[in-house]
């Protein structure tokens, strides 16, 4: 491993794909060679990396030959198509799509929480839903304070969750609104500028949308708490990047004190407590954007429930909610592999 890794990124021209390259630079990820892969539409695009331009290639059956680790962020269909090819070629695949998250044979990993679920034989690792990652970074540490019986969550999800096209659509709609022109959505199902709406995924027979169902199922799997009760409402808000969440944590027995919750979160890797009541300063997407920590604040007892505490959480959807979490998984896998060699 000392010579570095042969790395591939599928979906290299998307919002998350670009974050991978930035993280490789900032974290000194050991890239020996880099292969950027996308659809034919993006082939030939040159992307700067470590002082040189790397051209995007059209993904094909030979794209993963010699690759050690492949980061996928091109949608579930592409992942189902190309993950087996990459694995057969010898690569470890860290997949950012929903394709394999609920497969019982595939680890669904947030490194700070359940990296021990990864075994040496696992060649495919699923990166969780962004909202689930941000939620669990705040909730998982509280398990040491008592048994959690229920979570009530409302999300405030940014445009970055819909990719670069949705981010641009929000900018274009905002500009049109401020200039007094008609707001015509091109990507979102409803006007997005100065508006909010239920997360733009299909509604099932129970009334839940797909995003809400993902957060429930994935949280239960990551925490290894299949019976955990979770009620989630997911909403798009006109924020460019970084998701925020209002969270109520109900304990089976007496709730821990505010101070104990605050101390526990302050000692948690990847979490930063922002909880200044005197200045009314709490987690905001303005401050969580562009950095890797999940911000947690508004820590308080629930006055309506004797065994519950309330939190407000904010984290960068493109970083800890996607690319950063995936890179951290790979760092741990290959650090572990280099020790065992």
3-class DSSP state of 158 = coil
Which residue numbers are catalytic?
A: 130, 243
CA 134, 273, 28 angle in degrees (round to 5)? 65
Calpha distance 178→190 (Å, rounded):
17
CA distances from 65 to 27, 40, 249, 294, 299 (A): 25, 19, 46, 36, 49
Edge-to-edge, what's the strand order for the sheet holding 124-126?
46-49, 52-58, 31-38, 5-10, 69-72, 92-95, 124-126
Calpha distance 192→194 (Å, rounded):
6
Beta strand 308-315 with 294-301: parallel, antiparallel or unpaired?
antiparallel
Edge-to-edge, what's the strand order for the sheet holding 229-236?
197-198, 229-236, 148-157, 243-251, 308-315, 294-301, 271-273
Query: Any bridge partners for residue 126, and if so which?
Result: 95, 108
């Amino acid at each position: 491993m000392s010579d570095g890794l042969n790395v591939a990124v599928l979906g290299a021209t998307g919002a998350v794909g670009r974050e991978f390259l930035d993280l490789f630079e900032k974290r000194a990820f050991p890239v020996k060679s880099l292969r950027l892969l996308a659809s034919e539409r993006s082939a030939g695009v040159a992307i700067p990396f470590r002082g040189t331009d790397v051209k995007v290639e059209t993904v094909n059956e030979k794209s993963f030959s010699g690759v050690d680790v492949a980061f996928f962020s091109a949608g579930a269909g592409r992942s189902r198509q190309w993950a087996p090819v990459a694995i057969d070629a010898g690569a470890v695949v860290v997949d950012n799509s929903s394709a394999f998250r609920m497969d019982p044979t595939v680890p669904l990993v947030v490194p700070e929480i359940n990296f021990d679920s990864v075994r040496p034989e696992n060649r495919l690792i699923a990166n969780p839903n962004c909202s689930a990652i941000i939620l669990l970074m705040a909730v998982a540490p509280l398990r040491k304070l008592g048994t959690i019986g229920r979570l009530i969550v409302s999300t405030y999800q940014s445009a970055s969750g819909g990719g670069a096209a949705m981010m641009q659509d929000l900018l274009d709609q905002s500009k049109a609104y401020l200039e007094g022109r008609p707001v015509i959505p091109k990507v979102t199902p409803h006007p997005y500028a100065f508006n909010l709406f239920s997360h733009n995924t299909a509604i099932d027979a129970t009334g839940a949308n797909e995003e809400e169902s993902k957060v429930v199922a994935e949280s239960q799997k990551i925490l290894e708490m299949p019976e955990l009760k979770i009620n989630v409402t997911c909403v798009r808000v006109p924020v460019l990047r970084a998701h925020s969440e209002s969270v109520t944590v109900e304990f089976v027995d007496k709730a821990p004190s505010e101070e104990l919750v605050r101390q526990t979160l302050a000692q948690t890797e990847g979490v930063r407590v922002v909880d200044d009541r005197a200045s009314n300063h709490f987690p905001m997407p303005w401050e969580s954007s562009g950095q890797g920590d999940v911000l947690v604040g508004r820590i308080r007892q629930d006055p309506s429930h004797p065994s519950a505490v309330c939190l407000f959480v904010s984290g960068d959807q493109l970083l800890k909610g996607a690319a950063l979490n995936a890179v951290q998984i790979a760092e741990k896998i290959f650090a572990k592999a280099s020790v065992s060699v």
